[in-house]
Amino acid sequence: MPVTRQIAKSFGADRIANALAVLDRYPGDAIVVDFGTATTFDCVTADRRFIGGSIMPGLRTSAEQLVRRAAKLTATDLVPPRRAIGRTTEEHLQGGILFGTADAIDGMIRRIRAEWPGEQSPEVVATGGLATLIAPLTTTITRVDPDLTLHGLRLAARALRLPA
């Protein structure tokens, strides 16, 4: 994938690494969803073009801000709820945060697919610390690859002939 000056200036190294790695591991069009401080969506085509992406607040970032700003709410463990209609405040938070994030991911993927250049539906690969938590709650994520970013960094180091 050619990393143009515009891409290098505009995107973090993690997003470039994800694009390199997804092209190496999963031939074909792909969307990488990276669950970090921010949740990022990076779009690459089978012909090795980085076509853009989106950024939304990360799950943990959103949860921490909600608890910080709402006086009566306290932090809770992020475990998948059994149902959307919680019975306790803890279940309310878990359902809202986790199902809300999963539905936001599915909504973004549907929008990205609607704008996708070409006929092939892109593979959706999740990575990042919370990928294994959220992916099963979505309908659009097709793979989870926890070490995708590290793989991309290794590829970049090799291309630059740096010790990996």
Domains and CATH numbers, the chain: 5-159 (3.30.420.40)
Beta-strand pair 143-144/50-57: unpaired
Q: Consecutive 10-residue runs of the chain (164 residues): their mean pLDDT?
A: 52 83 93 96 92 93 91 88 92 94 98 92 96 97 96 85 63
CA distance 126 to 46: 18
| Helices and strands in the chain, H and E counts | 7, 5
Q: Name the pTM for this structure.
A: 0.88
53 neighbors 40 (Cβ within 8 angstroms): yes
pLDDT value, residue 91: 93
122 Cβ contact partners less than 8 Å away, ≥ 6 residues apart:
28, 29, 30, 31, 43, 112, 113, 116
Active site residues: 14
